[in-house]
Amino acid sequence: MVDYPIMLLDEPTAALDADNRRAVVELILEAKARGAGVVGIFHDDEVRETVADKVFDLRDFAGAA
């Protein structure tokens, strides 16, 4: 993973096997530990709970104009 101050992720673990999923999660956690900001879309509840510090559920904003 490239060492940028912010990472934009769109389902980074989708369609991965368990080993590669764990590797990607570890890379995300390492980037966060270095101080990178992470903005991502995670449909995988387990991955989201592992890497997220704050979660925004867009369904909470449905209908807001």
**Domain map of the chain by residue range?**
6-52
Q: Which of 4-8, 24-28, 33-37 has the highest mean pLDDT?
A: 24-28
Report CA-CA distances (Å) from 23 to 16, 20, 59.
10, 5, 30
Q: How far is residue 18's CA from residue 14's CA, in Å, rounded to a whole number?
A: 11
Q: What's residue 10's pLDDT?
A: 97
Q: What's residue 59's pLDDT?
A: 85
Checking if the pLDDT of 1 tops 80, the result is no
In 10 A of CB 59, how many CB atoms?
7
Confidence grade of residue 3 (pLDDT, cut at 50, 70, 90): low
Q: What's residue 2's pLDDT?
A: 65
